[in-house]
Amino acid sequence: MTVARMSFDGVLIVGAGLAGLSAALAAAPRRALVLAAAPLGQGCSSAWAQGGMAAALSGGDAPELHAADAIAAGAGLCDPAAVAVLTREGPAAVRRLAALGAPFDRTADGGFAQSLEAAHGRARVARVGGDGAGAAIMQAVIAAVRAAPSIEVREGWRVRRLLTDAAGRVRGALAEDAAGSLVEIVAPATVLATGGLGGLYAVTTTPREVRGEGLALAALAGAVIADAEFVQFHPTAMDLGGDPAPLATEALRGEGAKLVNADGTPFMARYHAAAELAPRDVVARAIAAERRAGRGAFLDAREAIGEAFPHEFPAVFAAAMATGLDPRRQPIPVVPAVHYHMGGIETDLAGRTSLAGLYAAGECAATGAHGANRLASNSLLEAAVFGARAGRAAAVAADPGTAPLPSEPAPELPDAALQTLRRAMSRDAGVVRDGAGLRRLIAEIDALEAVHGHALPLVAARLVAEAAPARRESRGAHFRADYPELGRPVRSRVTLSRAPAFEAA
């Protein structure tokens, strides 16, 4: 196939969720070219976020208090410098989005109305229309991007390989355009903002297309990947047959909804003193255990929310009603589902990766702000804060003038093989893991790779599958049935060419 080549003297951005678009806006006046696999606002987790953005916006709160909660949730692996940046720059990031037109809910005196979510010591989640934060924020940001003269967007363009020069510096990307042709785009700086990896699992709350492609692209180019084993499961996806599984937001439990068995018995008090408001990983394991024991797990919001459901939680209400379940009258069956990836392409505080010319931001990056477990509603915030930082850093990159080496697109993974991988990931790299299951998973990935080569989903899955057995402890979102104790607080770092190495956090 012939490959067209274009040179772009600006910042090449891969991904158009909140991180990618924040990077594009912050790179101005330097030009930015945004490539998005799907039309803007689609195929990205950002537009699906429900709860909102956490930030210390009220008088009784402070960035230091927010930071302390993030560090406690992160189970010993947060980088305090990254958390400090996130929480100090958080309030300004929310105000910036409000100034772009994001219609955050307001108090009577014009301040931000804020919700309490699990593991936050204060009500600090700025929300929109109850559970519509992501869609409303993205609508405002997309309008700003479309109006920005410095930004060009190519929708339906999917990156299939990064370009590197002889010195290993990233020089742009090989993309498939909307018509299926390959185009090499040579640029001085490339920002990966491709989101998480939920689509690698059979049960996920994220769009199916979000499947760790940026992680795999960076790893194939030689970048260091950090904390890949830490995958967060949302405890309460609705088990109503959907793929992806619609989310029953944490705020429902914040408002008093109870987790019960099929016979109506509440069960969370048996697992944690904070019951329904226990950390996410504890609630996810409790629900998995109740389901495994055959007792079933349901979210009962009949008393706590009841008739207020349609206007207080319209997205959840609509998703349940679409399957014929009325959450005002019936408990909602729930299942833990992959929701967020704490690990990712390792970056510094400016989004720089281990490879010159390559930056990363948002869920595909590992800044160290989330440690072993992300605090609820800190990821939109991270996408906005660190997306802007990466955009500013990439905007000052000079063109090294080197030529990229010839490259081939990563092979495609046929759907049947992808479904095999998704089932294997949910089975063996799920809420509870053990050495035997992880070995079986690696063997499955080996077998798929023998047939399909280094397809991006296989590479991304391997990064998780190989990092997980090397962490012989249980910490945050990574729970090992064969190593249930806490070990030393060390972060993991891995490249495709060497085994996982553990270094002090």
The catalytic residues are: 280
The residues in 341-380 that bind ligand FAD, with binding defined as CB under 6 A, are 362-363, 377-380
By CB under 6 A, residue 17 contacts ligand FAD:
yes
Identified binder of ligand FAD from the candidate list 23, 118, 268, 383, rule CB under 6 A: 383
Under the binding rule (CB under 6 A), the answer on residue 91 touching ligand FAD is: no
**Interaction pattern, residues 153-172, with ligand FAD; x per rule: CB under 6 A:** -----xx-------------
Distance of CA 269 to the CA centre of its chain: 29
Nearer to ligand FAD, 234 or 285 (CB): 234
Two tokens at 305? 């929310």
Nearer to ligand FAD, 376 or 438 (CB): 376
> Which of 114, 194, 232, 353 contacts ligand FAD by CB under 6 A?
194
Decide if residue 16 touches ligand FAD (CB under 6 A). Answer: yes
Q: Does 212 bind ligand FAD (CB under 6 A)?
A: no
Considering the complex, state which of residue 313 and residue 483 has its C-beta at the smaller distance from ligand FAD: 313
Residue (327 or 437) nearer to ligand FAD, CB: 327
CB atoms within 10 A of CB 146: 10
Could you tell me the smallest distance in angstroms from the CB atom of residue 425 to ligand FAD?
16
Cβ neighbours of residue 435 under 8 Å, at least 6 residues apart?
469, 480, 482
For residue 294, give Cα distances in angstroms to 235, 236, 261, 291: 17, 17, 9, 5
Cα gap 474→472, rounded to integer Å = 7
435-449 per-residue burial string, b: 16 or more CB within 10 A, e: under 16: eebbeebbebbeebb
Site for ligand FAD contains 25 (CB under 6 A): no
Query: DSSP 3-state assignment of 8?
Result: coil
Does 70 bind ligand FAD (CB under 6 A)? Our answer is: no
Q: Rule CB under 6 A: is residue 49 a binding residue for ligand FAD?
A: yes
CB 354 within 8 A of CB 224: yes
What number of other Cβ atoms are within 10 A of residue 183's Cβ? Answer: 16
- Nearest approach, Cβ of 483 to ligand FAD (angstroms)? 28
- Provide the CB-side half-sphere exposure for 337 (13 A, CA): 27
- Cβ partners under 8 Å of residue 416, min gap 6: none
Cβ 109 to ligand FAD shortest distance, Å:
24
- What is the spatial distance between Cα 107 and Cα 411, in angstroms, rounded to a whole number? 52
Q: In the bound complex, what is the minimum distance in angstroms from residue 456's beta carbon to ligand FAD?
A: 7
Q: Which is nearer to ligand FAD, 73 or 133 (CB)?
A: 133
Q: Does residue 327 belong to the site contacting ligand FAD (CB under 6 A)?
A: no
Near ligand FAD by CB under 6 A: residue from 26, 36, 67, 78: 36
Half-sphere exposure of 56 (CA within 13 A, CB side): 20
User: Smallest distance, Å, CB 153 to ligand FAD?
Assistant: 10
Q: How far is the CB of 17 from ligand FAD (least distance, A)?
A: 2
What is the secondary structure of 107-147 as a DSSP string? -TTSSB-EE--TT-SS--EE-STTT-HHHHHHHHHHHHHHH
- How far is the first Cα of the chain from the last one, in angstroms, to the nearest whole number? 46
Q: Where do contacts with ligand FAD occur on this chain (CB under 6 A)?
A: 14-20, 35-38, 43-46, 48-53, 133-134, 158-159, 193-196, 205-206, 210, 213-214, 247, 339-340, 362-363, 377-381, 383
